[in-house]
């Protein structure tokens, strides 16, 4: 039986993962995946993806780890594969649930400074876009021009459209169709400012018995719920 590896929630850096764990928010870091691959030790694996994306460098590391794995890799998009998670989905033979979604768009970042800094950052973002387009290009056979058009307009695809455009190989449970051969990158996640505030506030995340830390934790969770639109005040 293949070993199951879950890539769920936000794609985050190894250094930020403890914050998500501490706040009890689902997330996946490169170390999570690398540890699971080491435990699999060459046996077949199935990678279940349900993620809106996240840190592009973390996504690239996970993609590379999966591509480098010696055993068979089956990618299952069980919910959504968007942004950085869509890059990870390029790492093996793939299938998507009929109710799934696939999305690609441009890399985004934060910058400050004068016009020279802004122009420099724009060039860096274009290079970053090319880096993730390379993964799409190898899988789909689409040209850079075609991919950049799709990324520029933030393209959402149903399961059937993802297969038609060759980003995914097949739709799950579809016995009538033929298998098709062939910075930050996300729309969710904990805001960067919140990550930095938590890091500066809590020095030892394994010690949360301090009353001040407990109050800060509860307030942080409440603020995140408000941010995600999950909290309603009567």
pLDDT for the residue 180:
43
Torsion of CA 10, 13, 18, 19, to 10 degrees: -60
Give me Rg for the CA atoms of the chain. 19
Domain that holds residue 83: 3-186
* Position 233 in a domain: no
105 belongs to the catalytic site: yes
Torsion of CA 197, 200, 201, 205, to 10 degrees: 110
Count other Cβ atoms within 10 Å, centred on residue 208: 12
pLDDT for the residue 137:
97
Residue whose tokens read 């297969």? 163
pTM for the model: 0.78
The reply to whether 66 and 107 lie within a common domain is yes
By three-state DSSP, how is residue 12 classified?
Answer: coil
Cα–Cα distance measured from residue 29 to residue 103, given in angstroms and rounded to the nearest whole number: 20
83 belongs to the catalytic site: yes
The contacts of residue 138 (CB under 8 Å, 6+ apart) are 90
CATH number at residue 97: 3.90.226.10
* Position 207 in a domain: yes
144 close to 66: Cβ distance less than 8 angstroms: no
pLDDT in tens, the chain (234 residues): 899 999 999 999 999 999 999 999 999 999 999 999 999 999 999 999 999 999 999 999 999 999 999 999 999 999 999 999 999 999 999 999 999 999 999 988 877 889 898 899 899 999 999 999 999 999 999 999 999 999 999 999 999 999 999 999 999 997 664 444 435 565 556 776 777 777 776 665 554 555 566 666 667 766 666 655 544 444
Catalytic position from the list 29, 60, 94, 105 = 105
Pull the structure tokens for residue 26: 């689902």
DSSP secondary structure code for residue 179 in this structure: P
The reply to whether 73 and 180 lie within a common domain is yes
Pull the structure tokens for residue 169: 């190989």
pLDDT for the residue 218:
67
The reply to whether 198 and 175 lie within a common domain is no
The reply to whether 171 and 202 lie within a common domain is no
Nearest CA to 105 out of 75, 85, 91, 89 is that of 85
Catalytic position from the list 29, 60, 83, 86 = 83
The reply to whether 61 and 171 lie within a common domain is yes
The contacts of residue 73 (CB under 8 Å, 6+ apart) are 45, 47, 66, 91, 92, 93
* Position 131 in a domain: yes
Strands 45-55 and 101-104: unpaired
pLDDT for the residue 174:
76
């Amino acid at each position: 039986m293949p070993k199951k590896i879950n890539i769920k929630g936000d794609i985050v850096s190894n250094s930020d993962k403890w914050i998500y764990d501490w706040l009890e928010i689902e997330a996946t870091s490169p170390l999570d995946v690398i540890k699971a691959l080491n435990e699999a030790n060459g046996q077949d694996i199935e990678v279940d993806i349900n993620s809106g994306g996240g840190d592009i460098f973390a996504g690239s590391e996970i993609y590379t780890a999966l591509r480098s794995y010696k055993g068979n890799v089956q990618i299952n998009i069980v919910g959504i594969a968007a942004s950085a998670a869509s890059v990870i989905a390029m790492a093996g033979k793939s299938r998507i649930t009929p109710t799934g979604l696939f999305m690609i768009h441009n890399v985004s970042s934060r910058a400050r400074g004068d016009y020279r800094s802004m122009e420099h950052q724009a060039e860096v973002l274009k290079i970053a876009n090319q880096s993730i387009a390379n993964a799409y290009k190898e899988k789909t056979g689409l040209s850079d021009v075609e991919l950049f058009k799709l990324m520029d307009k933030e393209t959402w695809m149903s399961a059937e459209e993802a297969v038609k455009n060759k980003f995914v190989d097949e739709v799950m449970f579809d016995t009538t169709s033929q298998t098709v051969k062939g910075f930050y990158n996300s729309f969710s996640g904990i805001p960067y400012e919140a990550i930095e505030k938590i890091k500066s506030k809590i020095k030892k995340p394994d010690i949360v018995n301090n009353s001040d830390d407990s109050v800060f934790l509860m307030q942080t969770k409440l603020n995140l719920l408000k941010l995600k639109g999950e909290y309603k005040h009567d």
